[in-house]
Structure 1
């Protein structure tokens, strides 16, 4: 008979990790790729990555770096000095304010920067104001610190942009930080300079940290402009952490290079964590990032132009579907239509109660992968990335139009 001990009766997985939800966006992308590998003609709108190859001058720099024995060894956990200097120079060029290279920490992609930013300033019991819809990783990273995300929802009627009044209503004595993401994933919403300044001044007044994720800074459309909160409220620099990376701007999602910029004590604490967690980012990737940040933005503009064209096509096609409302995104490369007008209706014998139900139906019946709103906050929405070829985009949305046109 097997002996049951106190040890074997305990949960095998820690409560912290057992509580983490799988990344919904990566799960949808993986399922789409698996179906495609099995021979089904699935078109995926799930992944948040450009479909372009990394520009050749960046790849060439990586090849040269791989051949240099200096890059075959450990390097400082905080990042190569050349890359930290390039990030500081790029911040001055693109954001309009100065930072010291010593106040930059290079991370293994933007996700590590997100986690380490929260880990550096949060304690159990703290609260973080989280505008919703939000990127799926934010609440999980917050909870891993023992803090709690407090959702502040803005819907279609607000252009997915929260107001200072909403933030103030959600503020409590336990509020430690605000997550600010503009341009936004998943909605593509972009806060105006005036809105950004108002939120920044409010945070400054109440001593609230601002963790600002600026990874889509170069992807704005129409009259929208990216506004760095630290530039419009310079006094906020000592209570803000800036997150960024090369993934979206330079089509370098697989290279895994991000960074965080903040006050010296916070960067030191996050560097100590990273020294135990992962140590340095791969040196070849860091050298590639130096080439990206010190080169011109010609390739970036070409990609932005293509995204803009696809954006307009997607919004027009989605808006033509009865029951769908699709605000035109002003940034990033996502559309975030409301499908609340389809909930409760029947499509091919299935009554759709939630956007998760609808996403499942679209995958099974139209062979199109989209991410349901439940991954980003309330139900009733879908996220579709337009970072895919023009032909696939049109074919995929056409399939969705046909299917949803049957709603009764």
Structure 2
């Protein structure tokens, strides 16, 4: 029997590949973006409380009302914007799912979507599975800022959407308000939708500010804003995210969502809603910046090089050009096998596998884990010494 090829991606994702290699070689896994430290004990207790209180059956399709209300209050508090919990918020089984559902709600065969690369590797398969074409535009290294002239030239009569990611995976770059204004100038008087992947929005460093697309009045009505509780509360395995969009776009999103999964884990929703309704929550950006700073401090003792510190996210992009001339995927495999530290090659975030001798480290780990990794990396020597 012939099976259809829905997208151009080959094999399993790089995250699965490198995590499996790390496990095989008992390496420290700084590749896949998940924390190795415990979540807040109170959040764990609230899941137990939910099951004991009978929150064990299907939740409503858009999500538990108490969670959607908590999300709306959170955005009013942090961004001073009004979000309607009934008509604009949909709870999803993770942000990656939300990205797919948003694409599926707007794309038809023959449409085009502009993707800014390097990019999270689910974007293009999601686009292609819906019969559309990804049009890639490279960000400008080493700052990984947007070349707006390139974006403008990439727009055609078939352009249906542009997907944005800030703070950016894998580089940690952060959009400014001026970036949103320039995007608004480009899509004004068009029917182009915006997908704004903001899963790292609370992990932002050095006094910088996250600007959400929802704060941009002109863009908000044409945008899907996509979020992840896993990145905020360090519980990535819960796979709970959400989409905020206009009532019209929310209706389109839910038409797809109701037939993909219909309902999301009820006890976890209850726990998150109760947790968010407490008093002051931990400031996750401060905690994660401490981890980033500790990582950068230890990095100075190696022959790796950074072009700029990550301004947000879980990740730091690092050049290994002075250590090896191996292709980045080969280098990442070699580093895992020979030195016991797993990373992600940045070429995996490019559709053409562009190789700039860069790898991505995840620093969302215990300090003990990061220290152990650098004890292993300290044995690396520059090419000139090999």
TM-score normalised by the chain length of structure 2: 0.91
In the alignment, does 2:108 pair up with 1:123?
yes
Indicate which of 217, 221, 225 corresponds to 1:238: 221
Unaligned stretches of 5+ in structure 2?
none
Deviations 1:58-89 (A, max 9, x none): 222211110123x2322321111111222222
2:382, 2:184 → 1: CA distance?
Answer: 44
Change beyond 3 A, Cα 1:17–1:135: closer
Change beyond 3 A, Cα 1:51–1:296: farther
Indicate which of 69, 88, 113 corresponds to 1:103: 88
| CA RMSD across the alignment | 2.2
Q: Which residue of 2 aligns with 1:311?
A: 292
Runs of at least 4 residues off by over 4 Å: 17-21, 319-323, 340-343
In the alignment, does 2:376 pair up with 1:399?
yes
In the alignment, does 2:348 pair up with 1:365?
no
In the alignment, does 2:133 pair up with 1:156?
no
1:406, 1:340 → 2: CA distance?
Answer: 9
2:8, 2:150 → 1: CA distance?
Answer: 32
Matches within 5 A, 1:3-42: 10-11=1-2, 13-16=3-6, 19=9, 21-36=11-26, 42=27
Deviations 1:5-43 (A, max 9, x none): xxxxx32x332178564221233123313432xxxxx11
Which of 1 and 2 has greater Rg?
1
- Please say if residues 95 and 241 of structure 2, whose CA atoms lie closer than 8 Å, have aligned partners that are also in contact: yes
Change beyond 3 A, Cα 1:236–1:92: same
1:196, 1:235 → 2: CA distance?
Answer: 10
Residue 204 of structure 1, CA deviation: 3.2
- Please say if residues 103 and 127 of structure 2, whose CA atoms lie closer than 8 Å, have aligned partners that are also in contact: yes
1:106, 1:277 → 2: CA distance?
Answer: 13
In the alignment, does 2:41 pair up with 1:56?
yes
- Please say if residues 334 and 383 of structure 1, whose CA atoms lie closer than 8 Å, have aligned partners that are also in contact: yes
Change beyond 3 A, Cα 1:367–1:112: same
Larger mean CA deviation between 249-258 and 25-34 belongs to: 25-34
Residue 280 of structure 1, CA deviation: 0.7
In the alignment, does 2:234 pair up with 1:258?
no
1:195, 1:316 → 2: CA distance?
Answer: 31
Residue 134 of structure 1 aligns to a residue whose secondary structure is coil
User: Which has a greater percent of helix?
Assistant: 1
Residue 269 of structure 1, CA deviation: 2.7
Pairs aligned (count): 380
Q: Which residue of 1 aligns with 2:165?
A: 181
Residue 249 of structure 1, CA deviation: 0.7
- Please say if residues 156 and 327 of structure 1, whose CA atoms lie closer than 8 Å, have aligned partners that are also in contact: no
1:276, 1:269 → 2: CA distance?
Answer: 12
Unaligned stretches of 5+ in structure 1?
1-9, 37-41, 346-351
Q: Which residue of 2 aligns with 1:74?
A: 58
Deviations 1:253-307 (A, max 9, x none): 11121111112233223223222221210100110121233234542x2x43332
Residue 355 of structure 1, CA deviation: 0.6
2:136, 2:11 → 1: CA distance?
Answer: 17
Residue 196 of structure 1, CA deviation: 2.7
2:272, 2:184 → 1: CA distance?
Answer: 30
Change beyond 3 A, Cα 1:341–1:168: farther
In the alignment, does 2:171 pair up with 1:195?
no
Q: Which residue of 1 aligns with 2:71?
A: 87
Task: State the structure with bigger RCO (CA 8 A, min sep 6), 1 or 2.
Answer: 2
1:20, 1:174 → 2: CA distance?
Answer: 26
Change beyond 3 A, Cα 1:341–1:132: farther
